[in-house]
Amino acid sequence: PFYQPFSDLSRYERARNFLLLIREPDVSPLQVQGPKSKAVMQVLFGDRVLDLPYYHFFEVKLDGIPVIVTRTGWSGEVGYEVYLRDGSRGLELWERIMEAGTPYKIRPTGPSDIRRVEAGLLNYGADMTLDNNPYEVGLDRLVELNKDAEFIGRDALRRIKAEGVRRKLVGIEIQAEPLDLNETPWPVRSEGDRIGVVTSAVYSPRLKRNIGYAMVPITHGTLGTELLVDTPLGPAEAAVVSMPFVDPKKKIPRS
């Protein structure tokens, strides 16, 4: 839930005598992803989008429709996200983007879990939850513990970094017939004992093997560690491998 991480802020509100209002921003995201996304976005927003660096954004109006354009996505491909700031104009925005994309054979679709697992992108609620910390899921590069400003969780994160984590999210390959994306966690075993879970797994046609992530004890997180996964097809041998599985330097989305 969006609000849960902020539930403890009420005590800061009382202690520091200010009014705290927590709400979700009133924006709706639409992604334009894939090798031809730059061409489609150029039709809509001009040459400006071609110079937009990875993970940067700008605000603009498209035929009067207020949006934020970001150089981000959840596909591992080159792409953009368009955040609509006026929900009443969603249909207009949709029609403009689909019209601009028609010459490029644009198609509406949901996120590709195959591509996002290949790219090492995590799904909140599956691969990480409020029970995890950045060091367990490989996001420690985003934590700056030496900044002067105090922030909620700083002391806890410092302690975790000093003591080390007890579990970690690792990449795995599963030796089995092609698997559909798991909708629930699959048990991971070692020497008969359940030691963790597969959080996401899917068959990659590009790599011709089943790939995914598993949350396992740190003692079982070394590359090459052999595991056993309870899949819908039965027990299957698996091994810890490095991730991302494709384009680890993010050359594709940065291009």
Residue 4: predicted pLDDT: 55
Is the pTM here over 0.85, yes or no?
yes
249 in any annotated domain = no
Nearest in space to 225 (alpha carbons), one of 183, 148, 152, 172: 172
User: Are 106 and 131 part of one and the same domain?
Assistant: no
Two tokens, residue 171: 């990449």
Distance (Å, rounded) from C-alpha 115 to C-alpha 36?
Answer: 16
Structural domain count of the chain: 2
4 in any annotated domain = no
User: Are 138 and 234 part of one and the same domain?
Assistant: yes
78 in any annotated domain = yes
User: Are 147 and 223 part of one and the same domain?
Assistant: yes
217 in any annotated domain = yes
Nearest in space to 119 (alpha carbons), one of 107, 127, 109: 127
Q: What is the pLDDT along the chain (255 residues), one digit of tens a residue?
A: 444 555 566 666 555 667 777 777 778 789 999 999 999 999 999 999 999 999 999 999 999 999 999 999 999 999 999 999 999 999 999 999 999 999 999 999 988 999 999 999 999 999 999 899 999 999 999 999 998 888 888 999 999 999 999 999 999 999 999 999 999 999 999 999 999 999 999 999 999 999 999 999 999 999 999 999 999 999 999 999 999 999 999 999 999
Beta bridge partners of 57: 70
φ and ψ of 51, to 5 deg: -100, 5
Chosen domain end from 49, 76, 111: 111
User: Are 205 and 129 part of one and the same domain?
Assistant: yes
Domain span at residue 66 reads 28-111
CATH code: domain of residue 180: 3.30.1360.120
**Chain length of the chain:** 255
Distance (Å, rounded) from C-alpha 193 to C-alpha 190?
Answer: 5
Chosen domain end from 91, 111, 131: 111
Nearest in space to 36 (alpha carbons), one of 95, 97, 91: 97
Distance (Å, rounded) from C-alpha 239 to C-alpha 174?
Answer: 7
